[in-house]
Amino acid sequence: MSGGGAEGLARGRGRGAFWSAFAAAAAGLACTVALLGLLVWPGLSSARAAETADGARAFAVPAGGTRGAASASVTPAAGWSVRAVGDGLVLHSPDRVLEVGLSAVPGAEAEAVLSEAAGDAPVLNERIASGLELRHVTVDEGFVGVLDTGDGTVLIEARLDPPADFADYRPALAGLVEALEAP
C-alpha cells in the first residue's frame, strides 16, 4: 500500500490533462469545419441552383417589379449554365469563363450603365435576329449592352473570369444575345 496515494494522484492529473487536450482539439476541429462550411456553402448552393441549358428551353428574364422594366426570354445553346439571381439571370459558358448577366431594368438606368461603360468609346447599334434593337459597347473589361424589347429594356453585362481574350468569346456571346426575345 505504500506510494499508492501519490501515484494515484499523478495518474488522475494525467487523465485530466488528456481529456482537456482532447476537448480543445475537438473544439478546434469543430471551429475549422464550421469556417470551412461558411466558405464553401455559398458556392455549393449556387451551383445546385444553376441549371444546364439543353438548347431548347427558354429561360425568362424576370421583370423584377420595377416600373418601366420588361421581361424577356433567352434560349441558350446546350451546355450553358443558367441561374436566377435577384431580378435577373446569370449565365456561364460551358467552359465557365464567360459570365453574362441579364436583367430587366428601366431604360434610363440601363442607358446610364452603358454610357459609363462606354466612356469615350463609340456605342454601336444593331438589330438582332429577333428584330429587337441592341445598343452595345465592348471594352477591355467586357461587354455592356442594352436591348430594347419594345416595352422596356434588358441590360446585358458580360465579363471573362479568369481574364482572357474577349475576341475568343465573341461568337458565344453573339449567339446568346441573338437568342434573346421579347415575351
pTM confidence score = 0.70
CA distance 134 to 178: 10
Say how far apart CA 137 and CA 119 lie, in whole Å.
Answer: 10
Q: What is the largest CA-CA distance in the chain?
A: 101
Residues in CB range of 107: below 8 A, 6 or more apart: 68, 146, 148, 152, 153
What is the pLDDT at residue 12?
55
Residues 6+ apart with CB under 8 A from 67: 106
pLDDT computed for residue 93 by the predictor: 93
Q: pLDDT tens digits for the chain (183 residues)?
A: 455 555 554 555 666 777 888 888 888 887 777 777 667 655 544 445 788 988 899 998 887 654 444 478 899 999 999 999 887 899 999 999 999 999 988 888 999 999 999 999 999 999 998 888 999 999 877 899 999 888 778 999 999 988 888 888 999 999 999 998 887
Residues 183 and 71 sit within 8 Å (Cβ to Cβ): yes
User: Contact, 117 vs 135, CB < 8 A?
Assistant: no
pLDDT of residue 41: 55
